[in-house]
Structure 1
Amino acid sequence: MNNRLKITILTSAILASSSIFADDFSFDRPGTGFGTSITPVGSLAWEQGLPTVEYSKANISNDQTQNVSLQEDMLLRTGLTKDLELQLGWDGPSWLRTTQNGKKTTTNGLGDMSVGLKKAIDLHDDRMSMALLGQATIATGNYAFSNHDSIYALASTVQYAQNDILTTGITMRYEIQNSDWAVTAVPTLSYKLSNKWSGYSEFVYRKQESEHIQTSLATGVMYAVNNRMQLDASIGAGLSGDVPDYKGGFGVSFLF
């Protein structure tokens, strides 16, 4: 076998594996829920916010307060086995501007870090898939951008492909922080718009111990630049409480 033939066979194998790779793997950005796919062993997924923007406004006893924040969150994922991956997250550099009765104050700093393990569960079903995620968020950030106490969470996600276009799913997340429990439910619709464009819509329900119920809606689109790169944009709005709040942003994800 001459060298040219060897190179041709090797190139064909790489291209074939790249095509399979694209079909089996998906990024978790954007959205509150997460997918069921696992990063292949020896590969690294980098999911980066560019950034996420949040706005809230309160008017309590004539005390008008507006908050605008920017956050460049990041998530790294790498496969340990074919059905298990390690996740390292960072809320990243953040910026906050507060306007209270016309007076503006600005602060910036770094957010918390997290580590997690994601495990795919084989349901022996061509249409249904499932994954579990154990995660610890460590309060390493600056005061204005930290949870102040570590959070330990266990989450599950289940997805069902209704057809080639529509997939339904739900993520359930249980958290404990300083002996206080919280539960979050995120039903999601994912849809394929074209070969490169896809989208999602989600409803987020969250109940934290001794706190009011929080609900929100969000939607977004994703564009597959190629097999290993994705761009995304999303927007959402809170539905509960007297304080209007909105969230949106852009992101990019790479697969190495």
Structure 2
Amino acid sequence: MGLLLVTLALPAWAQQDDEAPPAFDRPGLGFSAESLPRGGVALELGLPDYERDRDEEGTLSTQFGSDLRLRVGLGADLELQVFGNPWNRLREAPRNAPSTTTRGAGDTGIALKYALPLGSDRHALAVLASSSFDTGSRAFGEGGTQYELGASYEYTFNERWTGALYANATRGAGEDAFTWSPSLNLAITDTVTGFLEAGFTHTNGEPSTSVAGAGLTWRVTPRTQLDASVDLGLDRNSPDVQAGLGVSFYFD
């Protein structure tokens, strides 16, 4: 895995720049309250994402998946995003029964992100409207078109501490859900940042879920970021563990 990350990072490492680009959207439950400038491009990859859960019947599910998001700055605080999950692997192991393994792609989607011009160094706010399409396999797709509207607010306390609040509404494909997540970020060094987060989701007709976790980001160069994060379920209805490793690149 380390060799793969280094190989992918080589093109971005070749572009040294003393000025840091806008924040990346990964990792974490929410997204950055910044948008890319006109002509800026960010590629953000999950390599891989991981989820583990045991249900009430005792079936242990372990899933690995890839996550891809391409962001393109359109100007005027607006950016276009394209995202998807091109590869997933799910292993289900029931008690006293043979395990099964399923592979396939998830859905793909498109989004528009707008960072509101607040004119403040301490406050930042962005909204993200997206739609995902039923392009994935049955095991990993939502089974229909979904629409989401999210918002992310960030407040800078000082040079080291930043707080954020994220909220997102989802509708479509038989699902009506609302998620909100507070988080706290600490600049440990000039290139390493840690964060704590919690997430709460209410879905109509289904039990609510809640998770909490932490993560780290490392700016290997101003244009290349590595990340690692983990969230743990806080109740029996939530996945036991959700974790991920990722790499993000910025180009202009």
TM-score when normalising by structure 1: 0.88
Distance 1:116-1:242 versus aligned 2 partners, 3 A rule: closer
Cα shift at 1:78: 0.6
Secondary structure at 2:18 match in 1: helix
Distance 1:244-1:214 versus aligned 2 partners, 3 A rule: closer
1:56 equivalenced with 2:53 (yes/no): yes
Give the one of 219, 222, 234 matched to 1:239: 234
Please, which runs of 5 or more residues in structure 1 have no aligned partner? 1-13
Give 1:95's aligned amino acid. Answer: R
1:19 aligned partner? 18
Cα deviation code 1:165-187 (max 9, x no counterpart): 11001011111114642111011
Contact conserved, 2:209 with 2:238, CA < 8 A, in 1? no
Which whole-Å CA distance do the structure 2 matches of 1:115 and 1:147 have between them? 15
Contact conserved, 1:25 with 1:38, CA < 8 A, in 2? yes
More helix by share: 1
1:156 equivalenced with 2:143 (yes/no): no
Which whole-Å CA distance do the structure 2 matches of 1:37 and 1:107 have between them? 37
1:43 aligned partner? 40
Give 1:96's aligned amino acid. Answer: L
Secondary structure at 2:139 match in 1: helix
Give 1:19's aligned amino acid. Answer: D
Give the one of 193, 196, 203 matched to 2:188: 193
Secondary structure at 1:85 match in 2: strand
**Segments of 4+ in structure 1 off by > 6 A?**
none
1:225 equivalenced with 2:220 (yes/no): yes
1:94 equivalenced with 2:100 (yes/no): no
Cα shift at 1:200: 1.2
Cα deviation code 1:38-91 (max 9, x no counterpart): 12221210000110111111243xxx2110000111100010014000000012
1:143 aligned partner? 138
Q: Which has the higher contact order (CA 8 A, sep 6+)?
A: 2
Moved more, 36-45 or 219-228: 36-45
Please, which runs of 5 or more residues in structure 2 have no aligned partner? 1-14
The percent of aligned pairs where both chains have the same amino acid is 33
The number of equivalent residue pairs is 236
Secondary structure at 1:146 match in 2: coil
Distance 1:115-1:199 versus aligned 2 partners, 3 A rule: same
Distance 1:190-1:157 versus aligned 2 partners, 3 A rule: same
Cα deviation code 1:88-117 (max 9, x no counterpart): 001220001110124111110111101000
Secondary structure at 1:145 match in 2: coil
1:207 aligned partner? 202
Give 1:235's aligned amino acid. Answer: V
Give 1:154's aligned amino acid. Answer: L
